[in-house]
Amino acid sequence: MPIQESGEMYLESILVLSKEKNVVRAVDISAYMGLSKPAVSRALSKLREEKLILIDKEGYIAFTENGRRIADNINKKHVLLTELIMRLGVDEETAAEDACKIEHVISDKTFEAMINHSKKHT
């Protein structure tokens, strides 16, 4: 079953935070995403039910293998899309915002074509 856009955003946020900190907890995600703790808690419960994350007794969040794969894929899309949009002359902030919207709806086939195009023209 495909993961919803909001789930992808949480996974990407966990990935970004895990690169900045040794451990990630719900409070970190709440602050990073600007969302309430109850909203984050509900989303994390759903991700855990879908076996995309693990949460230990101290509240530390870790990826399952599948969760990490999805997070890495979304982040890869975000980075490449941001770079491509910036190459068109768009400022970094706008490019990152637009990339965030596109990364959740773009097909793998189109994204692969963009990667190939980017490799040829860089």
- The domain boundary, picked from 34, 50, 69, lies at 69
Please report, for the domain that includes residue 97, its CATH number.
1.10.60
**Domain that includes residue 88, residue range:** 75-120
pLDDT tens, 37-89?
Answer: 999 999 999 999 999 999 999 999 999 999 999 999 999 999 999 999 999 99
Residues 98 and 49 in one domain: no
pLDDT tens, 96-108?
Answer: 999 989 988 999 8
| pTM, to two decimals | 0.85
- 53-55 and 61-63 beta bridge pairing: antiparallel
- The domain boundary, picked from 69, 87, 102, lies at 69
The phi-psi region of residue 89 (left if phi > 0; otherwise alpha if psi is between -120 and 50; otherwise beta) is left
| Rounded Cα gap, residues 12 and 111, in angstroms | 17
Residues 61 and 102 in one domain: no
Place of tokens 């491509």: 84
Residues 30 and 44 in one domain: yes
Domains held by the chain: number: 2
pLDDT tens, 7-26?
Answer: 899 999 999 999 998 899 99
| Rounded Cα gap, residues 33 and 119, in angstroms | 32
